[in-house]
Structure 1
Amino acid sequence: MADATLAAELRTEFGKGAARRIRRADRIPAVLYGHGRDPIHITLEGHATMMALKTSNALLEIVSSDGSKNQLAIPREVQINPVNRHIEHVDLFVVVRGEKIEVEVPVHMVGEPAYGTMISVDNQSIRVLAEATTIPEQIEVSMEGRKPGDHVYAGDVSLPAGVELIDDPEFLLINVSAQLSEAQLEAELESEAVDEDVAASTGAEPDAADGESE
């Protein structure tokens, strides 16, 4: 079952002016592609699309106004206006039931590490191969009791049945280290401030190696 159903209309005009008119009408320009087919340019309901895309790797059922066959698709690229955060364009990849596709799935940490530790997240998602209609919304990683020096690699993650890892098993996701003491934190901040002052006075980047040039 799809996560959301979106009504689509064929797009008949193009260009920046046309795109602005589409968005003023509370619709979003989009393109459907995949499976060797020619791309189909459409527009989607603005609010409904925004709500549907709040779910990671949402499976969408695209219903065309011309009466053609409904399509299942997942978002591949979502362009967002950096100022008003409105969706400006969506690339939709057509999928069929039963096929496996490559997707990026967010990693979600659960549980508390050992006291006195801090967590650094190196990568927030992993690439997996999953059946198009059962893509996990997120993959949980237990941090319960983890100690300084612990690392979580892609190969350590427990994947749902039928989901295969694409990333290298040694792909680092999370690093656990000892929490800095107040004195260590102050020393680190002072060191960073000195680096910035030196860089500002010399015009060099902080930590740049002496004598090196491109």
Structure 2
Amino acid sequence: MSDQLTLAAETRDRGGKGASRDLRRNGRVPAVIYGMKQDPVSIHVEEKALMRALMTGHFMNTVVMIDVGGKPTRTLPKDVAFDVVTDRPLHVDFLRISEHATVHVNVPVHFTDEEESKGIKIGGVLNIVRHELELIVDAADIPSEIAISLKGLEVGDSIHISNVNLPKGAKSAIDDRDFTIATIVAPSALRSEAIEQAAEEAALAEAAHEEHVAEVEAAEAEAAETTEGGDEAPAAEGDAE
């Protein structure tokens, strides 16, 4: 289960971009708490403390207690906006939740027992299709990761969601198909797949180019017809004079 985190926060009296820039210059990150049919609360947290929480690797699927003036609020992080140049956090959204609320989270997958996979032993490669699983779980029992064993798997074998033992009370948010999480493939299969993908992309690009050329030629032909038709058209009143 993910460890619970606590972040100290202060309320924001001013909104707007200017106020947010002032906060960031002082090592603070603007944030908001919303949900549970209550009014949103604008807050700010210490950037260093937020970065430590982000560095845990499971911030987005961890219950975070936001302590504002000694009053803790149970939340789940829903979004973190980052600066595209510096990667510094710019804003955080926190969703209020009750202690045993049912929440939708993305939980990372961790593969174990590679050394006991027959396929990998003979040179096969683990092709990961999904690095995270979308789960619906109790907020008090959010797993930090889902461990999947590769023991005994051979080249050509696939791991589907139906093969995974999820924690008690957890279920997949995708319930309309038995989706693939990973496969054991031969290195040549990966190369073939890459070649096929490149060929498909090249074919699509060529088709798009041909379509564009056809559109240009059609436009030019239409323009030529319009010009020829214009020579036979009656002169404008001003020209007649």
**C-alpha distance in 2, partners of 1:152/1:166?**
17
**C-alpha distance in 2, partners of 1:51/1:70?**
19
**C-alpha distance in 2, partners of 1:28/1:77?**
13
Q: Does 1:167 align with 2:174?
A: yes
- Structural mapping, 1:99-110, within 5 Å: 99-110=101-112
Equivalent residue number for residue 24 of structure 2: 23
**C-alpha distance in 1, partners of 2:206/2:7?**
57
Equivalent residue number for residue 54 of structure 1: 55
Aligned-residue CA RMSD in angstroms? 2.8
Measured after TM superposition, the shift of residue 148 of structure 1 is: 1.6
Aligned residues of 1:154 and 1:167 also touching (Cα < 8 A): no
**C-alpha distance in 2, partners of 1:185/1:59?**
42
Equivalent residue number for residue 33 of structure 2: 32
Which residue of 134, 144, 148 maps to 1:141?
148
The one-character-per-residue Cα deviations of 1:69-115 (angstroms, maximum 9, x if unpaired) are 31011111111112211111111111111222111111111121322
Equivalent residue number for residue 217 of structure 2: none
**C-alpha distance in 1, partners of 2:181/2:50?**
30
Runs (4+) off by over 6 Å: none
Measured after TM superposition, the shift of residue 180 of structure 1 is: 2.3
Equivalent residue number for residue 180 of structure 1: 188
Match of 1:206, SS? Answer: helix
Aligned residues of 1:52 and 1:58 also touching (Cα < 8 A): no
Equivalent residue number for residue 206 of structure 1: 202
Match of 2:22, SS? Answer: helix
The one-character-per-residue Cα deviations of 1:164-202 (angstroms, maximum 9, x if unpaired) are 222235122112211229xx959x77x95xx6xxxxxxx
Equivalent residue number for residue 63 of structure 1: 67
Aligned residues of 1:108 and 1:140 also touching (Cα < 8 A): yes
Gaps of 5+ in 1: 196-204
**C-alpha distance in 2, partners of 1:176/1:41?**
48
Measured after TM superposition, the shift of residue 210 of structure 1 is: 6.0
Larger mean CA deviation between 145-154 and 135-144 belongs to 145-154
Equivalent residue number for residue 233 of structure 2: none
Higher percent of residues as strand? 1
